[in-house]
Amino acid sequence: MIVYADYNVAICEILHYKLYNNSIGNYKVLRKMKIPNWIIIFLFSGLVYFSFNAAEGINFEYPVKNPPLQTGVNTTPSCLDRSDIPDEEYHWLYIPSDPGELATYEYYGFLSGELIRAGMIDASDCPSGGLWLNGYANSCGLQKAHDAVVYLQNVYDDEILAEGQRVGVPPIMIKQLIRYESQFWPVQMDIYHYGLGHITYLGILNGMIWNPELYADACQAIYGGPCTDPYFQISRESDALLAGQFLALMDASCPSCEYTIDISKAERSIRYITETLLGYCKQTSQIIYNITNKPAKSTMTYATLWKLTLVNYNAGPMCVYDAVRLSYTSDDADMSWLVISNKMDENVCKLAVTYTNNITARYYDFQK
């Protein structure tokens, strides 16, 4: 652990490493550095500002809550243009015709452990009650919980497919993201990550900024109807209240429900996760336009755009901005995922590349 003798050095180092979406780890790092809470709040507020300005080409003259949009670029066409999907990427970009095509039958140590700890699965005859010291299920616990785990990893497939088709976000990617983020356990984790998609406070704010449909969904869910003001005109207090209440809808904890989760509530949250991902894709498209002066679909494949969106979702827009800027050396530059991802040198960005590669790895064998 590095101990900083000067808060200014610490702040510069934190911003340099772009600690963005991994909020739980970020907070722990900051507290171990014995930085006061007021500075931590300032830093995370500043990261919201960086999020907006990354899509501005880091031009700080623009107002924080008014990122200008390029007409026809930051809307859905680039994020929805499926005309150039490479054969080797089809396994995660295919749109199933039936929810059953999304079915999986995996053993999940975390999910099994949560079910055992909640008393939903009786593993009392297993060694150590079916659990390792870290709370994950051991081999006996995995076997005991498997039927419930199979049910929970597939119970959301109808909504995943329906929302993916409605919004235009690849359904397989949605399911694999949920698998990677939460193992289908739709609760609040620690104090920062919520629900199936482990969405954070900064994440939901970013989603509402870049996708008006998500903001409309939040208003409908919290206030029972449309908000009277556009998102960029609401006060910061109202913004924070709306985001906090909206995040609470991602937490499907329910001690009196089967498996101690409200599955109907978790199913409804799939819509919000999908809309959030589209918001991130719109932001990513705008970043690419600001660097290249071309729509994203004119400079890279649909698959690369969505992989960069996953990087943005996981680690923030600066990883995308820096890598695309370094990669776009001319109009005929190679803007493939391999080239761009190799420009992500910093640790948080490298982790986001691994995150993206895991989500988009060949799991299903769909072919054209």
Least confident of 49-63, 184-198, 236-250: 49-63
Is 222 domain-assigned? no
> How many structural domains comprise the chain?
1
Is 320 domain-assigned? no
> Using CA atoms, how far apart are residues 217 and 201, in angstroms rounded to an integer?
16
> Using CA atoms, how far apart are residues 313 and 124, in angstroms rounded to an integer?
39
Is 43 domain-assigned? yes
Give residue 13's pLDDT: 34
The more confidently predicted of residues 31 and 126 is: 126
pLDDT(269) > 50: yes
314-319 average pLDDT score = 96
Residue 325, classified by CB atoms within 10 Å of its CB into exposed (0-12), middle (13-18) or buried (19+), is middle
Contacts 24+ apart (CB under 8 A), 305-309: 305/78, 305/79, 305/281, 306/79, 306/93, 306/170, 306/173, 306/281, 306/360, 307/337, 307/341, 307/356, 307/360, 308/284, 308/337, 308/340, 309/79, 309/277, 309/280, 309/281, 309/284
Is 180 domain-assigned? no
* pLDDT tens, position by position, 295-309: 999 999 999 999 999
The more confidently predicted of residues 169 and 27 is: 169
pLDDT(91) > 50: yes
Average pLDDT over all residues of the chain: 84
Query: Model-level pTM?
Result: 0.82
Domain containing 32 equals 7-54
Q: Which residues contact 121 (CB under 8 A, 6 or more apart)?
A: 112, 115, 130, 141, 144, 145, 148
Give residue 360's pLDDT: 98
Give the number of residues written for the chain: 368
Measured over the CA atoms of residue 322, residue 326, residue 330 and residue 336, the dihedral's sign is negative
Is 291 domain-assigned? no
Give residue 238's pLDDT: 87
Is 35 domain-assigned? yes
Is 34 domain-assigned? yes
CA distances, 235 to each of 215, 217, 230, 232, 238 (Å): 14, 18, 11, 8, 5
The more confidently predicted of residues 191 and 58 is: 191
Highest mean pLDDT: which range of 32-41, 322-331, 359-368: 322-331
Closest CA to 22 of 277, 311, 254, 274: 311
CA distances, 48 to each of 19, 163, 205, 274, 289 (Å): 11, 27, 9, 21, 21
Give residue 33's pLDDT: 41
Q: Which residues contact 134 (CB under 8 A, 6 or more apart)?
A: none
Is 277 domain-assigned? no
Give residue 144's pLDDT: 98
